[in-house]
Structure 1
Amino acid sequence: MIPETTAAPVRPFRSALYIPGSRPRAMEKAAGLDCDAIIFDLEDAVAPSEKDSARAGLLAALAGTDYGRRFRLVRINGPETPWAAADLAALASREGYDAVLVPKVSAPGDLDRVAAVLPGVPLWAMMETISGLFEARAIAAHPALAGMVMGTNDLQKEMGCRYRPDRLAMQTGLGLCLMAARERGLVILDGVYNAFGDMAGLEAECVQGRDMGFDGKTLIHPAQLDTANAVFAPSAAEIALAQRQIAAYDHAAAAGHGVAVLDGHIVENLHVVAARRVLGQAAAIAAMARSEAGQERLVR
């Protein structure tokens, strides 16, 4: 059954940082970084010769490191690769992670193969093939799916398009996945920005992704965290407007009216739903910050 609301979960996913499973020190440091999610990568970021050691290192990190409020995604190697079976077997204990990210999902059957080995484990899909974009709605409907991640580098390669700051060539594909995710109430994260030293370019792409409707941005470097967290969080002005919209609507409803007028704009119930979503996200971000501060005091 399709949810009545298209709102994504309130839990913040402003920033999701890729960490190679082959880098023990990076996995250790990630526990102290200001990211909403960590994508522990066993796929593209790990050389074939390091697959086994990376898998073992990741299991050790998940078992021995407290990642606090950070959502822990493990990106496995594709089901068709020689490393997939070992990846899935290693994750069968279901300990230390929140979900499994399946790369290069082109059809619901790609998720079936993983779900059969890891029943009950939430799955996320990398949307990075042309076939996957055309099948986005069917993929989003898979019963094990909880989220989508755009793989814009692979998508650019498959399409043979040039990179442009406005990502014109990829707009259709991004939109198809966004609509599919929203129809099912899934989380959906935008692709990476490769020039990790270009903060102005990163901010512009974050703003574009936020305005399109993405929940957050996948990142390749800790230096990108502050920008993504700031852009994908409600601003003080947005929070104030949401509060005023709700107050205006409640006042109008108490007077028997179905709509309100605020600053020359109509406020209907749909605007109130969006406003409550903004306030819910702001509250969740504030709660995470308080939790993090409390943990730091305990450590000291």
Structure 2
Amino acid sequence: MKPKLLHRNPTGFVESVMYQHTVSEQFLSAWHYHPELELVYVVRSSGSLFVGDAIESFSEGDLVLLGSNLPHRWLNDPSHSSSDSKGSAESLTVHFAPDFLKVNLSKIPEFRSLGQLIELAKRGVVFKGSSCQKVGEQLLAMEMQDEFKRLLNFLDILRLLAQSSNNRLLVSPGYAEQKIESNNRFGRVHAYIMNHFQEDITLEEVADIALMNKSAFCRYFKKITKKNFSRYLHEIRIGYACKLLSEQQQDVSIAEVGFQCGYNNASNFNRQFKIITGHSPTAYIRQYELE
């Protein structure tokens, strides 16, 4: 029900940064979080990245920075789960502690922009453009570097990212303000929604998870999110529907997309899609194709 806490450094960091070059059948799909920040460069594979209350498509060449304790999961497209013995999902990942720059470096003027980048990471940041390939090359080079060169290389990577203007925040400000931890009430509720939004979810279920009656839960949820529960759930579902429709999957109908997002009938899906986006699913596809 709740995001799983992973210990990326159970014995403590031997180095300032922990580097991984991973090749597998799929990325880690569990809804999880960890105290360490995470920088990921996607070498191969594509799918959906769930971060906080955001849903983002990812593909080869994408670069994402995730903040401390920010819940997330990587869901590979089925076409990338194959019998390829070498693995069809490949990534370069660096984990580093939240106080990585606070020991000595944050007081140095030249490193202030790096501190600002760490703040942005609380909402998750996806980077685009030419800097992604350069960072990918530098991350790959870390595999053959010793601890000192690896640290210097990573500092330069953070410098490049801090200077990049071609980026976008993923998580909404309201979500980022919440302390999403395993024992946090809103964290438990949101984790349940993200794990089950493709299924029927009742108000009674989420109120029970919050250990509240329905009336009290509705007031609490509205105070936290500035939205009622139904609207919040629809936005999560329609956000995922936009992701699926934007991929222009020729073999999947609009009705099937609605079903994959938790809607049992096409009319309700079409109605909610237009309320949230201002367009019908068909018009959205046409608009996306024109872009």
Question: What range describes the TM-score normalised by the shorter chain of this pair?
Answer: under 0.3
> Under a length normalisation based on structure 1, what TM-score does the superposition of the two structures give?
0.24
Higher helix share: 1
> Under a length normalisation based on structure 2, what TM-score does the superposition of the two structures give?
0.25
